[in-house]
Amino acid sequence: MQRIKFIFSAFVFLLISFNTKAQFSGSGNGTEQEPYQISNSTQLDEVRNFLGQANSNIHFVVMNDIDLASLIADKYPIVGWEPIGNASDVESTSFYGSFQGNGFTIKNLWFSRTEADNLGLFGVTKDAIINNLNIQLSTSGIIGGNYVGILAGQSEGGSITNVKTFGTITALSYSGGLLGSSTGNTLIQNNSANVIINATGSYVGGLIGESSSLVSDCQSSGEVNTEGDNVGGLIGKTSAEVSGSSSSSNVKNTGGSFTGNFMGGLIGVNQAPVNNSNASGNVTGISTLGGLVGDSYAPISNSYATGNITGRMWVGGLVGASDSVTNSYATGIVYTDQKIGGGLVGQSYGAITSSHASGFVSGSQSLGGLVGVMGGTVSFSYATGNVTQIVSDSTPEGGYVDIGGLAGSSFSNSFIENCFASGDVTATDNTAMYVGGLIGLSNGISNSYAYGTVTGGYSLVGGLAGTTWAPIVNSAALNPWIKSSAEGNLNKIHRLVGDIEFETEVINSYALDNMLVNGAIVTDGTSDFWSGENKSIEEFQKQLTYGNGLNWDFENVWKIRENHGYPYLQSSEYLTSIISSDINNKTWGAVSPMGIVAVNDGLSKTFEFSPADGYEIESVLVDNENIGKPNNYTFSNVIENHTIMLIFKLKQLGTDEIKNKNITVYPNPTADFIYVSGNKKITSLELYNSNGQKVLKTSDSKMDLAPVTVGVYILKIVTENGEISNSKIIKK
């Protein structure tokens, strides 16, 4: 009897061994110590024989590169590779095992299963461990429905590390270069995807479509093109933290005007913190778009974005709509053809701290160099890009308001402190209102300044703020000029703030003394009113002006190079040098830019010269040195203060030019009268000495030179059609 039992047991053992061997044709026994060794495509295909939780302790290892082209052509010729594992019964049909790639590549993977979901090399994995693997798609790529990824359609739990994917994906929703979806706290670390994704649905990312798993140290590159929402260069939507990750993928809405919302260069929508991450791809869509994140419900810190962002509304260089943002920056160009655009954030609902933006911002309303609409405090931050209103055909009626160098407007209880803006602010619509060098509509400003030019706007225009609903304290407007539209309401256009509303006040604030307000210099400014107290450019380059005068903190917050540029935040090292430009007579010509110009150290600045009709350049003085008569001059690699002075003079016409204009001047030389005749009526004559000073004027066609001394003069001749000529006259 014992012998019979022994023979039966031996038979069962041999049967089990035979069946297991029949399931996998390669070496190894599937243990961690002796994993199944995958050496060819057939053995890779046999992994599907080990699905379900019962096989969670089975281990595989790839021994060399594997080409799937022949196997797919023979076994799956119509629709391509059949994914390993599916979602029909997760407990029994998902891949639970361990798959070690050893750094080898599985190549020429392809399938075309347009009606199927949960597609990839694996269909569904659960608590699986997959690492050190490369997957290269064939030139035809993979085509599927929902939950499509090169590695897996869905992953729940386990870990995926050091996996690299390459190829083109065509899918509907929940699609990514690595995974369609990741749930159950899967550890996703050190993975990358270089892919082109073309999707017609939502929740699409260069790495993962939708994730509730921690993602760290991952990268993506390529393109993500969709006709849906919730789209990111790395992840479409995530509810778990993302750290140390980056994307260079361009993200683009390829659908109509009702899709392309919540799109970001890294993440479309994040519901958990993002830190130490960056994105460099361009983002093009409709609403709630950001260079890093489209819509953020959690803090973003120590991150940046450099791509250009184009959309219709809620558009930001870093985030379209944000929670708090700290120690982050954006450099890309931001364009919103309707409303709410910011160099860093479109609309904030949390604080912005120690952050900056340098990209140009343009759109129709609620525009700011840093943030379009503030819903929280902005502090220790700055913006350096120009902000320009562009009225597009799609702009709704009632727009054209709230434009500022730092912020467009702010909610109640959201104020600005210890900030500055350097960009030029331009409103192109003649009815624009709330236009300011720092903010259009303010709910409070302290210890801050702006120094860009402010151009355009009908009413509520100021060097610091268009209007304010809360106090402006210890702040300054250093703008070279403010110029409203031709129809401007001059009663609400001022150096510091266009208007002060709701019985609020301006306290202890300054303005540049030679600032031009619609071409005029203000001489009666006070520190507690909308024009601000006069301070010279020399005073604005001294710590004493800010430290003692405005109570700024130069121990912990600000720094300044004495007599060299404006203050800068200690965390930024944004250094400036001052170039002062001027001309000998403002009616004789122009220099652009004119006045006080602050230039970031290391950059260049070009000045253009344009004589008025009838005048010419006599000389250009750069730092008091005559450099001749150029039409422009460029200061290169600016690291110190400079001056540039234009000397214009009346243009002297030669005899041939006078004749060509049919004008006769006689007698010349003369001891008394000079006469002028021509085929056009002479409306005025003006006589200038050699220093360019006007000494005589008449509305007649003759002039008595008896009052002037002997010498050489220039006669300016103006005809009835406004034509100007000049002739040299000798008084004897």
Delimit the domains of the chain by residue range: 308-572, 576-650, 663-731
In this prediction, residue 258 has a pLDDT band, given cuts at 50, 70 and 90, of confident
Does the pLDDT of residue 12 top 70, yes or no? no
Share in percent of the chain as helix, strand, coil (round to 5): 10, 50, 45
Task: Provide mean pLDDT across the span 329-352.
Answer: 96
Cα separation of 511 and 524, whole Å?
Answer: 11
Task: Show the 3-state SS of 463-507.
Answer: CCEEEECCCEECCEECCCEEECCCCCCHHHEECCEEEECCCCCEE
Does the pLDDT of residue 725 top 80, yes or no? no
C-alpha distance from residue 96 to each of 161, 188, 648 (Å)? 16, 16, 83
Determine the residue type at 228.
G
Coil vs helix vs strand at 206: coil
Q: Pseudo-torsion of CA 346, 348, 349, 354, nearest 10°?
A: 160
Task: Show the 3-state SS of 590-601.
Answer: EEECCEEEEEEC
The more confidently predicted of residues 154 and 491 is 154
Strand duo 66-67 + 129-144: pairing: unpaired
> In the chain, how many H helices and how many E strands?
6, 83
The more confidently predicted of residues 394 and 256 is 256
Q: What's the fold here for domain 663-731?
A: Immunoglobulin-like (2.60.40)
Q: How high does pLDDT run on average in the chain?
A: 91
In this prediction, residue 9 has a pLDDT band, given cuts at 50, 70 and 90, of very low
Cα separation of 81 and 527, whole Å?
Answer: 76
- pTM for the model stands at 0.86
Task: Provide mean pLDDT across the span 527-551.
Answer: 90
pLDDT of residue 22: 47
Range name among 401-415, 626-640, 678-692 with the lowest pLDDT average: 678-692
Q: What are the pLDDT digits (tens) for 583-625?
A: 988 888 999 998 899 999 999 999 999 998 888 898 999 999 9
Instruction: Please name every residue paired with 335 in a beta bridge, in sequence order, or none if there are none.
Output: 310, 362
Cα separation of 187 and 192, whole Å?
Answer: 14
pLDDT of residue 90: 84
Strand duo 711-719 + 472-473: pairing: unpaired
Give how far the C-alpha of residue 208 lies from the chain's centroid of Cα atoms, to the nearest Å. Answer: 25
CATH number of the domain at 308-572, please? 2.160.20
User: Two tokens at 379?
Assistant: 């502090």
